[in-house]
């Protein structure tokens, strides 16, 4: 009702403005056409004079000569100041509104094969840091307007898209091009809220792959039942790492170190590369590939993710295990080695299918 009322008022205002302009021009022509010295004889003359005066150009080719015409000219000059102020104000408002909508992501993005993060806090920021560090792109949804500027200032504009929206506004997710994304990471403090959110998203968008982090590992089966493949339990990972530091601190240190994205020469992390059609390792045994990866790239092959419907990860498989097209090699490599492997394999690290 309020929307209809606003539209109705706007229509009335425009109609009143058009009628007012018409009456003004008609009256000006009426006053001026009675004088032989007048150069305003028609509606066209009056319109041209009004526009030139309103724009402050003032060519001087048309002007009123009658007393009543001059009075109307005075009204026009005074009124033009208000009209110009209004026009400038409206233009400024439109520009400000456009920039605000652009900054908050209301025009959407064309990112493709990217990652979507729903829910922004210090934890999701650490996740985003690793993803951006690895050279991948992210669409971030936050319900806090204060976060928008902070996010945009923290990351390169070509790698980040930020959308300010209510988390329950599921239609707004389309602006992140979510249907073309690789995976969706939902980061809420409440596991129940995360579960409900996934169910509602699945009603609107199909074939999405979700990554969730749970406070309670007891809910893993519940999340798997609704189609969530990648489930992380905060307490489970933290407890394993703490226990490892207690009785095998060096192994724990290495584990923590290789979990971080590597860029520099001395940094290592675990990565995976897909075996595409022209890869020279296709059809070769695991042992051969292991030795070749170490010799050529100084990287350690840890396992293979075999290409089937869900992919099966084989950790340190038998030496006669064959590498096939669409498999993933899982290996430990430093930053420079990753770049060389990516170039030779003609594909970036990671899994996006």
Q: Is 226 helix (H, G, I), strand (E, B) or coil?
A: coil
Query: Is the confidence at residue 245, as pLDDT, over 90?
Result: no
Query: Is the confidence at residue 148, as pLDDT, over 90?
Result: yes
Domain ranges of the chain: 2-103, 115-238, 265-345
pLDDT at 203: 92
* Assigned CATH topology for domain 265-345: Alpha-Beta Plaits (3.30.70)
The mean pLDDT value for 289-307 works out to: 92
CATH class for the domain made up of 115-238: alpha beta
Residues with Cβ within 8 Å of 9's Cβ and at least 6 positions away in sequence, in order, are none
CATH architecture of 2-103: Orthogonal Bundle (1.10)
d(CA 97, CA 27): 38
Greatest mean pLDDT range, 76-85, 210-219, 254-263, 295-304: 295-304
d(CA 173, CA 164): 10
For 125-139, what is each residue's pLDDT tens digit? 999 998 898 888 999
Residues with Cβ within 8 Å of 93's Cβ and at least 6 positions away in sequence, in order, are none
pLDDT bucket at 353, cuts 50 / 70 / 90? low
pLDDT at 1: 46
Mean residue pLDDT of the chain comes to: 86
pLDDT bucket at 264, cuts 50 / 70 / 90? low
Q: Which residue has the tokens 């526009």?
A: 51
């Amino acid at each position: 009702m309020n929307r209809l009322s606003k539209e109705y008022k706007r229509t009335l205002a425009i109609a009143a403005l058009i009628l007012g302009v018409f009456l003004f021009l008609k009256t000006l022509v009426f006053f001026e056409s009675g004088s032989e010295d007048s150069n305003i004889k028609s509606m066209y003359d009056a319109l041209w004079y009004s526009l030139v005066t309103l724009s402050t150009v003032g060519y001087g080719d048309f002007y009123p000569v009658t007393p009543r015409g001059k009075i109307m000219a005075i009204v026009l000059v005074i009124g033009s100041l208000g009209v110009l102020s209004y026009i400038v104000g409206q233009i400024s408002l439109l520009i400000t509104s456009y920039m605000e909508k652009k900054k908050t992501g209301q025009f959407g993005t064309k990112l493709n094969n990217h990652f979507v993060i729903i829910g922004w806090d210090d934890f999701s920021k650490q996740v985003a840091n690793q993803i951006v560090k690895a050279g991948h792109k992210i669409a971030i949804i936050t319900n806090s307007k204060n976060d928008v500027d902070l996010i945009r200032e923290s990351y390169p504009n070509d790698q980040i898209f930020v959308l300010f929206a209510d988390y329950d506004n599921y239609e707004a997710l389309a602006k992140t091009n979510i249907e073309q994304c690789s995976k969706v990471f939902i980061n809420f403090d409440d596991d129940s809220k995360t579960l409900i959110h996934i169910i509602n998203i699945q009603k609107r968008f199909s074939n999405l792959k979700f990554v969730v982090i749970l406070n309670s590992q007891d809910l893993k089966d519940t999340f798997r039942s609704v189609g969530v493949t990648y489930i992380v339990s905060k307490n489970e990972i933290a407890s394993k790492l703490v226990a490892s530091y207690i009785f095998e601190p060096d192994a724990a240190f290495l584990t923590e170190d290789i979990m971080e994205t590597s860029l520099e020469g001395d940094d290592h992390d675990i990565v995976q590369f897909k075996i595409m059609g022209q890869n020279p390792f296709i059809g070769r045994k695991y042992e051969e590939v292991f030795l070749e990866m170490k010799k050529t790239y100084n990287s350690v092959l840890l396992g293979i993710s075999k290409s089937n419907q869900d992919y099966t990860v084989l950790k340190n498989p038998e030496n006669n295990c064959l590498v096939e097209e669409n498999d993933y090699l899982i290996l430990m490599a430093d930053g420079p080695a990753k770049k060389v492997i990516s170039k030779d394999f003609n594909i970036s690290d990671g899994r996006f299918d």
